[in-house]
Structure 1
Amino acid sequence: MARVWVLALCVSTVIADTTTTIPDYFQTSFGPYAGGYETGRVPFLAQTNPALSAQPTYVPNGPLVTDIPVPDKPEGASIFSHMGNLSPYRPNADGFGVDEYALPYGSNITQIHMVHRHGSRYPTSKPGVVDRINGFIENGTVFTGNLSFLNSWTYQLGENELTVRGRQELFDSGILHYYNYGQLYNPGSNLIARTTTMVRMLQSAESFLYGFFGSKWTQNVTLEAIIDSTGFNNSMGGDQMCTNAGNGRGQTSGSATDQWKSIYLQDATLRFQNQSSGRSANWTVDDLNDVQSLCAYETSAFGYSPFCLLFTWDEWLGFEYTLDIQFYGNNGFASPVGRAIGLGFVEELIARLIQHLPDPPDDSIAFNTTLDDNNSTFPLNQTIYFDFSHDTEIFSMMTALGLSKFGKYLSPTELATNRSLVVSNITPFGGYFLFEVIKAPYPVLDQRPRNSSDSPYDTSGNSTSYVHMIMNQRTIPLGESIPDCGARDDGWCELQTFINFQQQNVDKANYNASCFGDYSTPGYGNITDGAIPNS
Structure 2
Amino acid sequence: MRLLSFSLLFVALLAGSVSARFSDFEAFKNKFNLQENLGTLSIYHEPYFTGLSTAFPESCEIRQVHVLQRHGSRNPASDDGLSSAIKLVEMQERLLNGSLPINYTIPNNPFRFIKSWVPVIDIRNTDQLSSMGRVELFEMGREVFIRYRELFDADVYDINTAAQKRVVESAEWYSYGMFGDEMANKTKFTYLAEDESPGSNSLSNYNSCPVYYENNIDLKEVNEASHTWGNSFLPSIINRLFPYFSNYNLTVEDVETFFYLCAYELTLKDESDFCSLFNPSDIMNFEYTYDVKNSLYGGPSSKWVNVLGGPYIHNLANSLHSVYNESDHQKVFLAFTHDAQIIPVESALGFFPDITPEHPLPVTHNPYTYSMKTSSFVPFAGNLITELFQCQDQKYYVRHLVNQQVFPLTDCGYGPSNSSDGMCELSAYLNSPVRYNSTHNGTDIFNAACKAKPANVTLHY
Query: What is residue 111 of structure 2 aligned with on the other side?
Result: 147
> Could you say which residue in structure 2 is the equivalent of 1:303?
270
Change (3 A) 1:513 1:274: farther
Counterpart pick for 1:77 among 32, 52, 62: 32
- 1:348 aligns to what SS in structure 2? helix
1:355 alignment partner in structure 2 = 322
Q: Which amino acid aligns with 2:176?
A: Y
Give, in angstroms, the shift of residue 514 of structure 1.
5.3
Matched, 1:263 2:263: no
Q: Which runs of 5+ in 1 are unaligned?
A: 1-9, 15-42, 47-59, 68-72, 357-378, 443-462, 518-535
Shift of 1:267: 2.2
Q: Which residue of 2 aligns with 1:492?
A: 423
The answer as to 2:362 corresponding to 1:431 is no
Q: CA deviation at 1:74?
A: 11
Match of 2:161? 195
Matched, 1:62 2:62: no
State the partner residue of 2:58: 105
> Is 1:156 equivalent to 2:127 in the alignment?
no
Q: Is the 8 A contact 2:412 2:425 kept in 1?
A: no
266-275 or 115-124, which deviates more:
266-275
Q: Is the 8 A contact 1:110 1:438 kept in 2?
A: yes
- Output aligned runs, 1:218-297, within 5 Å: 218-229=184-195, 231-233=197-199, 234-243=201-210, 244-245=212-213, 247-251=215-219, 252-278=221-247, 281-297=248-264
Q: Which moved more, 1:508-517 or 1:222-231?
A: 508-517
| Larger RCO: 1 or 2 (CA < 8 Å, sep 6+) | 2
- Which of 400, 404, 410 is the equivalent residue of 2:361? 410
Following superposition, the deviation at residue 513 of structure 1 comes to 7.2
Secondary structure, aligned partner of 2:258:
helix
- Equivalent of 2:279 in 305, 308, 312: 312
- CA deviation after TM superposition for structure 1 residue 219, in Å: 2.1
C-alpha distance in structure 2 between counterparts of 1:385 and 1:140, whole Å = 52
Q: 1:328 to 1:232 in 2, by over 3 A?
A: same
Matches within 5 A, 1:114-193: 114-125=67-78, 126=84, 128=87, 130-131=89-90, 134=93, 140-144=99-103, 145-150=109-114, 155-157=121-123, 158-186=125-153, 188-193=154-159
Tell whether the 8 Å contact from 1:435 to 1:470 is kept in structure 2 after alignment. yes
Question: 1:507, 1:308 → 2: CA distance?
Answer: 46
Q: TM-score, normalised by structure 2?
A: 0.79
Which has more helix, going by share of residues? 2
| 1:185 shift after superposition | 0.6
Question: 363, 367, 381: which is aligned to 2:329?
Answer: 381
Q: Equivalents in 1 of 2:253, 2:451: separation in Å?
A: 31
2: distance between equivalents of 1:466 and 1:123? 40
Distance of 1:265 and 1:342 partners within structure 2: 33
The separation in 2 between residues aligned to 1:181 and 1:116, in whole angstroms, is 16
Between the two proteins, what is the percent identity of the paired residues? 25
Match of 1:37 in 2: none
1 CA distance for matches of 2:149 and 2:23? 33
Offset, 1:394 = 0.4
The AA in structure 2 aligned to 1:441 is Q
Contact 1:169 1:430 in 2 (8 A): yes
Unpaired runs of 5+ in structure 2? 6-13, 79-83, 104-108, 453-461
Q: What CA distance in whole angstroms lies between the structure 1 residues aligned with 2:451 and 2:334?
A: 30
Change over 3 Å in CA distance of 1:490–1:438 after alignment to 2 = same
Contact 1:114 1:387 in 2 (8 A): yes
Give the match for residue 457 of structure 2.
Answer: none
How far apart in 2 are the matches of 1:13 and 1:263?
Answer: 46
Q: 1:398 to 1:148 in 2, by over 3 A?
A: same
2:288 is matched by which residue type in structure 1?
A: Y
Q: Take 2:56 and 2:320, find their aligned partners in 1: how far apart are those partners?
A: 20
What is the number of residues matched between the two proteins? 411
Instruction: Provide the secondary structure at the position in 1 that maps to 2:421.
Output: coil
8 Å Cα contact 2:412-2:428 kept in structure 1:
no
Q: CA deviation at 1:120?
A: 0.1
Q: Tell me which amino acid in the other structure corresponds to 1:405.
A: P
**CA apart distance, 1:112:** 0.6
Q: What is the rounded CA distance, in whole Å, between the counterparts of 2:314 and 2:419 in structure 1?
A: 26
1:89 is aligned to 44
2:46–2:405: 8 Å Cα contact kept in structure 1?
yes
User: Secondary structure, in 3 states, of the residue corresponding to 1:239?
Assistant: coil
Amino acid corresponding to residue 111 of structure 2 in structure 1: L
1:347 shift after superposition: 2.0
Match of 2:303 in 1: 336
CA 468–149 in structure 1, closer or farther in 2 if over 3 Å, else same? same
Distance 1:380 1:293 in 2: 47
What is the one-letter code of the residue matched to 1:383? Answer: K
Q: Which moved more, 1:191-200 or 1:131-140?
A: 131-140
TM-score between both structures, scaled by the size of structure 1: 0.69
Distance 1:180 1:468 in 2: 15
Residues 75 and 107 of structure 1, relative CA distance in 2, 3 Å threshold? closer
Letter matched to residue 398 of structure 2: V
- Asked if the contact 1:11/1:218 (under 8 Å) is kept, the reply is no
Cα distance per residue 1:344-394 (max 9 Å; x no partner): 2112112212239xxxxxxxxxxxxxxxxxxxxxx9631111111110100
> 2:173 maps to what in 1?
207
Q: Quote how far apart the aligned CAs of 1:438 are.
A: 0.6
Name the Cα RMSD after superposition.
3.3
Distance 1:64 1:404, change over 3 A: closer
User: How has the CA–CA distance of structure 1 residues 324 and 514 changed in structure 2, closer, same or farther, with 3 Å as cutoff?
Assistant: farther
Q: CA deviation at 1:81?
A: 0.9
